[in-house]
Structure 1
Amino acid sequence: MGHYVGVDVGLRSTSLCIIDEKGKVCPEREVASEIDELAATIRGFAEHVDGVALETGLHG
């Protein structure tokens, strides 16, 4: 089963939302903006990722 990951990157923390191919939200988490923590969180819920949406930008 495929999964899609939404990533909202911040300086200190990153919000992740993983959904399955049926649109069901698997986890929705805020984690430290560290590659190892991001990868571990995604791997914990998805064996295969079909797509990633990335949001970055300055607020102000």
Structure 2
Amino acid sequence: MIYFTGTDVFLRAVWICVVDDHGEVCREAKGDAQVDVVGAWLHAFSPELKSVGFETGALSQYLTYGLQAAGFEAICLEARQVKNTLDAMRNKTDRNDARGIAHILRTGWYSRVHIKSLHSHRRRALLASRKAILAKCVDLEE
């Protein structure tokens, strides 16, 4: 059986919904927005579950790296596309948003967002720090 997992993430909590390939809801839950909590919940549901979808947001990079380390395929969806799709739903709740994201994954009508590598993030932080230090040195010389 193929499962599709949608998560609606906000800063402290996350709604998780798992649907099968026929569109039937298999399991739903609300939990802490911690990668180890989400990963344990998903592993407890089924070892066959491989991919997890969520929309872009403040925790996208954290979830992507954490879920990949836990052995899942993290699929980050474009926020505008997900919003337009979920706006068509009658009851707009976090629980229904997770269900809608799972159905978006099931249908395959989504655009993936590229999450940069950790190496790229480190390099960008190093360059930004260097630029700030250089600017301060120039200010001190004037």
TM-score higher than 0.5 here? yes
8 Å Cα contact 1:10/1:56 also seen in 2: no
Q: Name the residue aligned to 1:31.
A: 31
| Bigger strand share | 1
Q: Name the residue aligned to 1:15.
A: 15
> Relative CO higher for 1 or 2, CA cutoff 8 Å, sep ≥ 6?
1
Gaps of 5+ in 1: none
**Higher mean Cα deviation, 3-12 or 48-57?**
48-57
Q: What TM-score do the two structures reach when normalised by structure 2?
A: 0.37
Alignment RMSD (CA, Å):
1.8
8 Å Cα contact 1:13/1:33 also seen in 2: yes
Gaps of 5+ in 2: 59-142
Alignment deviations for residues 5-38 of structure 1 (CA, whole Å, 9 cap, x no partner): 0011111000100011121111111110111110
Q: Name the residue aligned to 1:45.
A: 45
| Bigger helix share | 2
Distance 2:31 2:12 in 1: 9
- Which residue identity does 2:21 align to in structure 1? E
Q: What percentage of aligned pairs have identical amino acids? A: 33
Q: What TM-score do the two structures reach when normalised by structure 1?
A: 0.77
Distance 2:25 2:44 in 1: 14
- Total equivalences in the alignment: 58
Larger radius of gyration: 2
